[in-house]
Amino acid sequence: MKSDLEERGSLVPKRLRDLGRVARATARSVSVLRKSGMLGALAPRTLARLVHVLRGGGRPGPHQFVRLHAASTPDKIAVVCKDERYTYAELDQRVSRLAHALSRLGVGPGSAVAIMLRNCIPYLEAQFAVAHLGATIVQVGYRLKAGEVAYILENSQSKVFLYGSDCADVAATAAREAKTVPQGAMIEVGPRYEELLASTGPVEGPPQVGGAAAGLMVYTSGTTGRPKGAMRDLRRTGLEPALDLMRQVPMSNQDRHLVACPLYHSAAPAFMLPVLLLGGTAVVLEQFDPDEALRTIDFERITSTMMVPTMYSRIVNLPSDVLRRYDTSSLRWLMSGAAPLPTALAARIEATFGPILYNFYGATETGYVTLALPGEHTARPGTIGRALQGVTIRLLDDAGQEVPDGEVGELWVRSPMLVRGYHHNQEATAESLREGYFTVGDLARRDADGYYYMADRKIDMVISGGVNIYPLEIEQLLHQHPAVLECAVVGLPDPDWGESLCAFVVLREGAHASADEIRVHVTRELADYKKPKQVLFIDALPRNPTGKVLKRELRERALSSRAG
């Protein structure tokens, strides 16, 4: 047994190392904030509060920076959506009121609050308010059907549900099925939401509560056919990769950032929140339209945006007279991610907007992983860039051994931004987490200069318009159709969406079904984006000796049918 003195002595080096890490992280943060112009914009009285936040004081989350800017630059516009514009002071006040209202509904440390909204300012307000209360925000796609939403509500044990009027019927049905959200905790964003905010009256700030740190849960499709809740603990999430990305991308407190992707995706908040952290302005599109995006860039003098390749493709493929109609000279940086970026498309984007295109790789589960700078994607076709600071990447073969440069391996990531795991799914967590490294099943290779290139993904996963889709979920539903004997769903190259779904169907003897009937069967239960674009009827699925369906052969057959 160690003596008390020995025990204390053994802790000193660890404490010193921890203090050293905090000091280095604080120094890096200050450097980035100085470069962005944020430090120069802060009022002197707020600097002590900033240092407190950077050192981990208080409950971590974006709400702390909203409060900071509300105290320092209260009249600066923080968020814009359609005709709504709120200053930092107004946004902070609305977040404060919502936090008090949610607190009265029982939201606190350990609680889960589900949000099913299109892009709007209340989406941001809810994220900030829930974070301050030490609760977990559960992001629900507004295109999901009632059964899908009910599973998420039940799995996350959400106690409050905020939803849009266009989702009211789905939300009500899902809540009845899940039986986790009391009727009084169903909040439709509209008059009831505004009444909740008004009912708290003017307040100085959200209540200070102790307990668990705030969290974020994003549900991603899983190979089991059920979505998996990737759980992020904001207190445990390190910022080194984010700071490195902010250092390399010319982010500024003067940025006016266009939010074009849905906020329930991980990618949209990943680039909007740093802009708000710096004291910039977020201009939110309710939904994406290429012409409207260009009009907003022109009218709002947008300086930056993050879009998936499909969105950029729809913009650069507009008629030349439409492109010339708008002034986009205010743009300083563009970010692409969430799906593979074709090199030809990257070249067209740079030809249209200039050499300001960045490309990143990351995932809900891993956070930011790599970054490619302007020109690198076209100079090194297909690259996703190099690893960010704080990120270690291993490319492993099927035996778990690292592959040499130039060879393809499964991409495993160690980073301070890794999620805690999959909520209530130890099996999926164990499959994805190994010796501190996490994988989402992507395959990549690395060149001798340290640049990474995506080679493929898990054979079953499809990315369509930046959305991850696992065909097994669709196959399980198709098997419920009375006419279907066997089926398999694969992804095929698509010029607009990156990939689209193709379903191969073997009908039962004597049964009949049309392609449209198959599609309708899918959309009765699943989101529209999971509907197969192409349905091919075949006599039998190709299989290997162990019975596994040979999806590579199916892809080749589908591509041949296109060519024919």
Q: Mark 514-551 as b/e (b = at least 16 C-beta within 10 Å).
A: eeeebbebbeeebbebbbbebbeeeeebbeeeeeebeb
| 366: number of Cβ within 10 Å | 27
Q: What is the pLDDT of residue 227?
A: 85
| 479: number of Cβ within 10 Å | 11
CA distances to 48, 183, 213, 426 from 420, in Å: 31, 31, 13, 11
Give the tens place of pLDDT for each residue, 376-426.
988 998 899 999 999 999 999 989 999 999 998 899 999 999 998 999 999
Q: What is the pLDDT of residue 58?
A: 63
Q: What is the pLDDT of residue 528?
A: 92
Q: What is the pLDDT of residue 194?
A: 93
| Token pair belonging to 522 | 């899918």
Beta strand extents in 364-440 (DSSP E only):
367-372, 383-387, 392-396, 409-414, 421-422, 433-434, 437-438
What stretches in the chain show pLDDT beneath 50?
Answer: 1-12, 14-19, 210, 222-224, 545-546
Q: Residues with Cβ < 8 Å from 107, sequence gap 6 or more? A: 113, 130, 133, 135, 159, 160
Is residue 138 within 8 A of residue 159, CB to CB? The reply is: no
Q: Residues with Cβ < 8 Å from 478, sequence gap 6 or more? A: 484, 487, 489, 503, 505, 518, 521, 522
Spatial distance between the Cα atoms of 280 and 308, rounded to a whole number of angstroms: 22
Q: What is the pLDDT of residue 202?
A: 61
For 81, list phi and psi in degrees, rounded to 5. Answer: -150, 115
Q: What is the pLDDT of residue 222?
A: 46
Spatial distance between the Cα atoms of 296 and 280, rounded to a whole number of angstroms: 16
Spatial distance between the Cα atoms of 192 and 16, rounded to a whole number of angstroms: 51
Closest CA to 304 of 243, 237, 363, 374: 374
Is residue 503 within 8 A of residue 535, CB to CB? The reply is: yes
DSSP helix/strand/coil, 233: strand
Largest Cα separation within the chain, whole Å, is: 83
Q: What is the pLDDT of residue 504?
A: 97
CATH superfamily assigned to domain 469-563? ANL, C-terminal domain (3.30.300.30)
Closest CA to 229 of 50, 426, 407, 81: 426
Spatial distance between the Cα atoms of 115 and 259, rounded to a whole number of angstroms: 18
SS (H, E, C) 73-104: CCCCEEEEECCEEEEHHHHHHHHHHHHHHHHH
| Helices within 279-384 (DSSP H only) | 290-300, 309-316, 320-325, 343-353, 376-379
Is residue 286 within 8 A of residue 121, CB to CB? The reply is: no
| Domain-wise residue ranges, the chain | 4-36, 469-563
Angle of helix 4-36 versus helix 240-248 axis, rounded to 10: 20
Q: What is the pLDDT of residue 19?
A: 45
CA distances to 475, 481, 523, 534 from 505, in Å: 10, 11, 16, 11
The helices-and-strands tally (H runs, E runs) of the chain is: 20, 27
